[in-house]
């Protein structure tokens, strides 16, 4: 017989979890004691529980393994909610283990008690409260199973303190059967055949892919399919890296800040193959405008509720993206003949490309786009890029050309400022030798800046690329364009001296103010200071805006381009 706390740790070992991110407290003291007595599961002590969940989330995003966070009851749990909601919106598999007050105290308004299951319910794939130590191992097994299968997502397990003290035999089930949970994997073959037929008849096709391709590790299959068909490919923000960005067939990201060619190709396509993407508002703009063009849509998604939710689909295929693409490839291997008119479509796309919609104005100041371009060069296009949320996020997405999946780590769905630095920590715990840069701004970075201390403790050499314009840039951009330049509360004053701040935490700080210093500084950071966290404070042109832009409520083809301003 072992204690509930030891069962928790044994379960993590059985799941081959090598690292958890967490913060101790009263209700999880037994679990931390059990953690202390072993060395298979490493623990990263963050400085705020929000960062623990973000780091576990990025661990998962960058590695295909389930990230794990461990926090105490009450405020420990409430601090994780933003991180859980962030993972939920992007379908990231994660298990969050929470302490709870002893079962006898539940509902008594005990110290550090909160209704964890109730608070997290709307932003988890599922959650559990374990009231009996006999249910503990099987519940944790279920949590990992649910988190990683079907459309993935975060699962919360709430464990009262007395349960972690009780003794029980440990028996970890190898597999699990749940009558209420059997996600579809294989796509319907008849539908797949119909889709393959439709693709070969297409005259103006586009392959539009999202985070589902990354999550099901289907990037290579998607690439083979696209190249066999010789069709243009566009990625959503979450789908970047699903198809090599440097390839000729890639037309760039689409959506609110998508390229001219991607948005036009999406709008005027006669057949759309949507793969693990969900036609959300940032992608298709105004749905009525989008529906004004006649086209046929094939949609592959593991979640039936994502299909025909915002755009009517002609050929729905419910299934795991990788499995469905496999079936499609098999069919096409038997003979693939596309319509000759696709050549004209390519001519049209190349004409759109000629607009060079990502060209940006020159300046005596450092342009943020230029920093990302140089970052791409210096890292050989092979770094993991985490980002926060705002203009810098869009610049990173537009100008860092992701050739591989799981290299672009950002909060696409919820749009959570503050994720960038803890994301960098999670990536490094999963990929210790990787180059990791966090592209951020002076607004976002301050939302989790305390994690520089964690990075020091565990030697996590994140390169922080702070695109500092002294403004909440994306807010400022909208105010400039849609609120007659009334810059309400978007101006950040009293910024800290980031160089000194980094140094105070024991790291290296740099301030870069001239365009000619950008590349040398980056090189220095990635060579001389390879093993250091380097805070690079780039003082950028405060007027730089993100283009192209589809304003909220506008259609995909109604883009504002840089040169028009």
Partner 1 sequence: MRHIISILIENEAGALSRVAGLFSARGYNIESLTVAPTEDPSLSRMTILTSGSDDVLEQITKQLNKLVDVVKVVDLSEAAHVERELMLIKVRATGKDREEMKRMADIFRGRIIDVTESTYVIELTGASSKLDSFIAGLDAGLILETVRTGVCGIGRGDRILKV
| Rounded least distance, CB 118 to partner 1, Å | 7
| Residue number, 152 or 443, with CB nearest to partner 1 | 152
Could you identify the residue written with the tokens 């509720």?
A: 305
- Report the interhelical angle of 321-333 vs 219-229 (nearest 10°): 30
Nearer to partner 1, 118 or 190 (CB): 118
474 is catalytic: yes
Q: Which residue from 26, 75, 304, 470 is in contact with partner 1, where contact means CB under 8 A?
A: 304
Please identify which of the residues 125, 141, 161, 221 carries the catalytic annotation: 161
Q: What is the DSSP letter of 285?
A: B
Of 270-278, 285-293, 304-312, 344-352, the segment contacting partner 1 by CB under 8 A is 304-312
Place of tokens 């759109």: 352
CB of 214 to partner 1, least distance (A): 21
Which lies closer to partner 1 via its Cβ, residue 135 or residue 293? 135
Instruction: Tell the smallest beta-carbon distance from residue 306 to partner 1 (Å).
Output: 9
Q: Which of 35, 47, 97, 48 is nearest to 71 (CA)?
A: 97
Least separation, in Å, of the C-beta of 271 and partner 1?
Answer: 23
User: Please, where are the H alpha helices in 354-472?
Assistant: 368-378, 391-399, 420-430, 452-458
Identified catalytic residue from 1, 36, 40, 111: 111
Report in angstroms how near the CB of residue 187 gets to partner 1 at its nearest: 17
For the four alpha carbons of 534, 535, 541 and 546, in that order, the dihedral sign comes to positive
Asked if 305 touches partner 1 (CB under 8 A), the answer is yes
Stretch that binds partner 1, among 235-243, 305-313, 500-508, 555-563 (CB under 8 A): 305-313
Per CB under 8 A, which region of 64-72, 173-181, 191-199, 215-223 contacts partner 1? Answer: 173-181
Least Cβ distance, residue 115 to partner 1 (angstroms):
10
Toward partner 1, which CB reaches closer, 184 or 336?
A: 184
- Pick one of 13, 78, 308, 453: the residue that binds partner 1 (CB under 8 A): 308
Q: Is 347 in the site for partner 1 (CB under 8 A)?
A: no
Out of 2, 64, 110, 126, the only residue in the binding site for partner 1 (CB under 8 A) is: 126
Place of tokens 């202390």: 36
Give, in order, the Cα–Cα distances in Å from 55 to each of 90, 150, 198, 270. 14, 22, 42, 41
Nearest to 70 by CA among 94, 47, 99, 34: 99
Widest distance between CA atoms in the chain: 72
Size of the site for partner 1 (CB under 8 A): 18
Q: Is 49 a catalytic residue?
A: yes
Instruction: Please name which of 269, 209, 285 lies closest in space to residue 243, comparing C-alpha atoms.
Output: 209
Q: Considering beta carbons, is residue 115 or 293 the nearer one to partner 1? A: 115
Candidates 170, 172, 181, 478: give the one binding partner 1 (CB under 8 A).
Answer: 181
Is residue 125 at the binding interface for partner 1, with CB under 8 A as the rule?
A: yes
For residue 294, the 8-state DSSP code is -
Q: Is 112 marked active-site?
A: yes
CB atoms inside a 10 Å sphere around CB 177 = 8
Name residues contacting partner 1, limited to 78-117 (CB under 8 A).
Answer: 117
Closest by alpha carbon to 35, among 48, 50, 45? Answer: 45
Q: How far apart are CA 261 and CA 360, in angstroms?
A: 16
Question: Which one-letter DSSP state was computed for residue 112?
Answer: T
Closer residue to partner 1 in complex, CB, 178/364 = 178
Specify the DSSP class assigned to residue 471. B
Q: Are 300 and 225 in contact (CB under 8 A)?
A: no
Q: What are the strands of the beta sheet with 384-387, ordered from one edge?
A: 408-409, 384-387, 436-441, 463-468, 534-539, 508-512
Q: Which of 6, 15, 49, 442 is catalytic?
A: 49
303 binds partner 1 (CB under 8 A): yes
Decide if 146 contacts 85 (C-beta within 8 A). no
Cβ closer to partner 1: 163 or 233?
A: 163
Considering only the stretches 30-38, 123-131, 215-223, 499-507, report the one whose residues sit in contact with partner 1 under the rule CB under 8 A.
Answer: 123-131
Nearer to partner 1, 118 or 542 (CB): 118
Q: Which of 64, 112, 227, 348 is catalytic?
A: 112
Binding partner 1 (rule: CB under 8 A), the pick from 175, 177, 178, 334 is 178
Tokens for 59? 């661990």
Task: Give me the least distance between CB of 304 and partner 1, in Å please.
Answer: 5
Write down the least CB distance from residue 309 to partner 1, Å.
6
| Cβ proximity of 80 and 68 under 8 Å | no
Vertex 515: Cα angle to 513 and 520 (nearest 5) = 90
Q: Does 163 bind partner 1 (CB under 8 A)?
A: no
Is 118 an interacting residue with respect to partner 1 (CB under 8 A)? yes
Q: What is the DSSP letter of 66?
A: P
Q: Does 179 bind partner 1 (CB under 8 A)?
A: yes
Per DSSP, which regions of 226-357 are E strands? 233-235, 250-253, 271-275, 296-301, 315-318
Count of residues in the chain: 565
Of 94 and 472, nearer to partner 1 (C-beta) is 94
How many beta carbons lie within 10 A of that of residue 194, not counting itself?
A: 15
| Residue reference for tokens 């607004």 | 443
> Residues 87, 410: contact at Cβ < 8 Å?
no
Considering the complex, what minimum distance in angstroms separates the CB of residue 107 from partner 1? Answer: 12
For position 180 contacting partner 1 by CB under 8 A, the verdict is yes
Helix (H) / strand (E) containing 465: strand 463-468
Query: Is 240 within 8 Å of 402 (Cβ atoms)?
Result: yes
Of 134, 193, 309, 404, the one binding partner 1 (CB under 8 A) is 309
Specify the residue, 13 or 286, whose C-beta has the smaller distance to partner 1: 286
| CB of 210 or CB of 316, closer to partner 1 | 316
User: Could you say which of 36, 40, 122, 565 contacts partner 1 (CB under 8 A)?
Assistant: 122
Q: Which stretch binds partner 1 (CB under 8 A): 93-101, 176-184, 400-408, 453-461?
A: 176-184
CA nearest 96: which of 181, 12, 199, 187? Answer: 12
Smallest distance from partner 1 to CB 461, Å? 39
Which residues are identified as catalytic? Answer: 49, 111-112, 161, 474
| Binding residues for partner 1 (CB under 8 A) | 117-118, 121-122, 125-126, 129, 146, 151, 178-181, 303-305, 308-309
């Amino acid at each position: 017989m072992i204690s509930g706390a030891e069962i928790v740790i044994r379960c993590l070992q059985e799941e081959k979890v090598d690292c958890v991110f967490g913060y101790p407290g009263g209700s999880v003291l037994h679990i931390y004691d059990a953690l202390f007595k072993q060395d298979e599961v490493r623990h990263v002590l963050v400085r705020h529980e929000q960062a623990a969940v973000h780091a576990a989330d990025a661990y998962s995003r960058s590695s295909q393994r389930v990230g794990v966070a461990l926090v105490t009851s009450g405020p420990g749990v409430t601090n994780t909610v933003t991180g859980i909601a962030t993972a939920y919106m992007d379908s990231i598999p994660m298990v969050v283990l929470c302490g709870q007050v002893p079962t006898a105290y539940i509902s008594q308004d005990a110290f550090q008690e909160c209704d964890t299951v109730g608070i997290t319910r709307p932003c988890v794939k599922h959650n559990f409260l374990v009231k009996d130590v006999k249910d503990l191992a099987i519940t944790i097994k279920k949590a990992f199973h649910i988190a990683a299968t079907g459309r993935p997502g975060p699962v919360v397990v709430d464990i009262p303190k007395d349960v972690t003290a009780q003794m029980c035999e440990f028996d970890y089930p190898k597999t699990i059967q749940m009558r209420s949970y059997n996600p579809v994997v294989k796509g319907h073959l008849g539908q797949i055949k119909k889709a393959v037929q439709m693709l070969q008849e297409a005259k103006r096709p586009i392959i539009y892919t999202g985070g589902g391709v990354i999550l099901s590790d289907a990037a290579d299959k998607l690439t083979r399919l696209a190249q066999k068909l010789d069709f243009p490919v566009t990625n959503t923000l979450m789908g970047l890296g699903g198809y090599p960005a440097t390839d000729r067939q890639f037309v760039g990201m689409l959506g609110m800040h998508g390229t001219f060619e991607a948005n036009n190709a999406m709008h005027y396509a006669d057949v759309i193959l949507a793969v693990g993407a969900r036609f959300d508002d940032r992608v298709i703009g105004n749905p009525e405008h989008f529906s004004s063009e006649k086209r046929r849509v094939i949609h592959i998604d593991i979640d039936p509720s994502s299909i025909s939710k915002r755009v009517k689909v002609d050929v729905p295929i419910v299934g795991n993206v990788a499995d469905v693409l496999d079936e499609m490839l098999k069919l096409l291997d038997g003979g693939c003949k596309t319509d000759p008119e696709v050549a004209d479509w390519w001519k049209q796309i190349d004409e759109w490309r000629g607009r060079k919609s990502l060209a940006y104005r020159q300046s005596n100041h450092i342009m943020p786009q230029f920093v990302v371009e140089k970052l791409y060069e210096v890292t050989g296009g092979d770094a993991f890029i985490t980002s926060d949320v705002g203009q810098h996020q869009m610049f990173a997405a537009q100008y860092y050309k992701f050739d591989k999946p799981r290299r672009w780590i950002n909060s696409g769905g919820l749009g959570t400022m503050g994720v960038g630095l803890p994301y960098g920590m999670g990536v490094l715990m999963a990929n210790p030798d990787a180059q990791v840069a966090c592209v951020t701004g002076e607004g976002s970075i301050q939302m989790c800046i305390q994690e520089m201390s964690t990075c020091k403790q565990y030697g996590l050499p994140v390169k922080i690329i702070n695109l500092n314009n002294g403004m909440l840039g994306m807010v400022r951009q909208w105010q400039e364009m849609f609120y007659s330049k009334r810059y309400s509360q978007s101006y950040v004053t009293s910024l800290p001296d980031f160089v000194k701040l980094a140094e105070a935490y024991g790291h290296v700080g740099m301030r870069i103010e001239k365009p000619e210093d950008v590349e040398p500084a980056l090189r220095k950071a990635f060579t001389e200071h390879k093993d250091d966290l380097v805070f690079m404070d780039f003082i950028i042109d405060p007027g730089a805006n993100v283009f192209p832009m589809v304003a909220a409520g506008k259609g995909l083809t109604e883009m504002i381009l840089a040169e028009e301003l």
